[in-house]
């Protein structure tokens, strides 16, 4: 029986083989994970279609294969196989059914947590990744771990003697390459499509977040740890209800703008392999506490490469919070096609501000940039949208008046 790579969501065409989770001769049940693959958007496990014995691998770790490729061969087992009891085939049965013929590289039964790019760095430098100690969550191996391992090997190597009578040769500069495929390639493809299709226009605004920061601090003292981003999401949902043109899809073929009632807001997460955008569904129906909990869970899944297709699909609006990384002035974010707008939050600074009473006070001011599709909306509407958002954030208690 052949186990093939199938489309696991959103029209994927290929995947990279991360690692095997079984070895030839292993007895598996239906739905047991067989191997791990990396698509352009997520890491996924390929399950066994039925109970059987692993016979032969047809692919190797690090190999990129198209949908429909045979990944491995299995032998059926007579009768139900149950690992919890003694009903297993005898050794003679195994030898008869499984003429082990592994055509790929030797596979370790140890599961290594590392991204495809990290594995690629190890392979290109001749490093056995199993010998590298991971410093990431759950022992995950990072790019830095590989580089530190390489440095340690180089330091222990003996430098060759230099013969002064030999004329120096022309300097050869070492070149490093980064694979342009998988998630990074898909990000590039999406960005080019967005920039080619959408006439971007970006509006910049300053938002006073002093009161909101103070409110979050008060909540934390009462054991309610709510991030400022959760308030941003709820405020944006209120603004999208009042200005639905930014929660829409342009259908050029039918010459209509579809105004969407549900607010499925994507939150960009910075990862080694590139940005992932898990989506919080129906923000308009959720409390700030519920938004915070879901946002935390999705971020943890993203960092562990455990996001499912449903976690990254169906977004209608996107935010990017780069404030913690710094950057005093707003960037011009690229919209996620076919969405029509994206808001990016930037660094917050304490600044002197003149009040209506001509008093100078110190306030926490955050820069905001909003890119929008100029075919769908105008600059004046974007200004009204960000003004409404700024008003809600400046007086966070006003959010209570807008709760469903």
Which residues are known to be catalytic? Answer: 374
Please tell me the distance from the alpha carbon of residue 113 to that of residue 103, in angstroms, as a whole number. 24
Phi, psi (rounded to 5 degrees) for 288: -65, -35
Furthest-apart CA pair in the chain: how many Å?
92
Among 88, 96, 55, 85, smallest CA distance to 72 is for 55
**Three-state secondary structure along 36-52?**
EEECCCCEEEEECCCCE
User: Which among 319, 322, 341, 340 has a CA at the least distance from the CA of 331?
Assistant: 322
Measured CA to CA, the distance from residue 241 to residue 290 in angstroms comes to 19
Cβ atoms within 10 Å, residue 280: 23
Say if strands 14-20 and 341-354 run parallel, antiparallel, or are unpaired: unpaired
Which residues are within 8 A (CB) of 246 and not within 5 positions of it... i.e. 6 or more apart? 239, 240, 317, 340, 341, 372, 377, 381, 382, 385
Which is it for the CA torsion 45, 50, 51, 53, positive or negative? negative
Residue 113 near residue 57, CB atoms below 8 Å? no
Of 70, 64, 71, whose CA–CA distance to 12 is shortest?
A: 64
């Amino acid at each position: 029986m052949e186990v093939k790579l199938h489309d696991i969501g959103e029209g994927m065409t290929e995947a990279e083989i991360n690692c095997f989770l079984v070895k030839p001769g292993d007895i598996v049940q239906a739905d047991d994970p067989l191997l791990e693959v990396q698509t352009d958007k997520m890491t996924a496990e390929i399950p066994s279609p039925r109970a059987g014995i692993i016979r032969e691998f047809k692919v190797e770790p690090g190999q990129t294969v198209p949908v429909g490729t045979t990944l491995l061969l299995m032998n059926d087992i007579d009768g139900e196989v149950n690992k919890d009891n003694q009903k297993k085939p005898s050794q003679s049965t195994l030898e008869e059914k499984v003429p082990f013929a592994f055509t790929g590289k030797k596979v370790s039964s140890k599961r290594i947590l590392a991204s495809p790019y990290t594995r690629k760095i190890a392979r290109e430098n001749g490093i056995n990744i199993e010998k590298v100690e991971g410093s990431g969550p759950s022992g995950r191996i990072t790019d830095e771990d590989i580089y530190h391992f390489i440095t340690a090997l180089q330091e222990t190597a003996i430098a060759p003697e230099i013969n002064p009578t030999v004329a120096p040769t022309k300097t050869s500069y070492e070149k490093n390459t980064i694979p342009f495929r998988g998630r990074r390639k898909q990000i590039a493809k999406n960005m080019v499509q967005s920039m080619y299709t959408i006439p971007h226009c970006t509006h910049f605004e300053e938002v006073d977040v002093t009161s909101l920061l103070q409110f979050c601090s008060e909540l934390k003292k009462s054991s309610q740890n709510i991030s400022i981003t959760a308030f941003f999401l709820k405020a944006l949902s209120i603004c999208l209800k009042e200005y639905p043109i930014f929660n829409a899809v342009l259908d050029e073929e039918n010459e209509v703008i579809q105004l969407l009632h549900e607010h499925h807001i994507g939150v960009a997460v910075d990862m080694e392999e590139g940005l992932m955008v898990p989506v919080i569904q129906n923000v308009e129906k959720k409390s700030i506490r519920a938004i915070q909990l879901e946002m935390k869970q999705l971020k943890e899944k993203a960092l562990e490469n455990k996001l499912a297709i449903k976690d990254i699909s169906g977004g209608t609006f996107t935010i990017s919070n780069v404030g913690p990384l710094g950057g005093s002035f707003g960037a011009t974010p690229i919209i996620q096609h076919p969405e029509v707008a994206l808001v990016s939050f930037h660094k917050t600074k304490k600044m002197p501000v003149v009040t209506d009473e001509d008093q100078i006070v110190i306030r926490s001011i955050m820069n905001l940039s909003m890119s929008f599709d100029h075919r769908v909306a105008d600059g004046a509407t974007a200004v009204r949208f960000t003004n409404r958002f700024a008003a809600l954030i400046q007086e966070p208690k006003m959010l209570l008046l807008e709760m469903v």
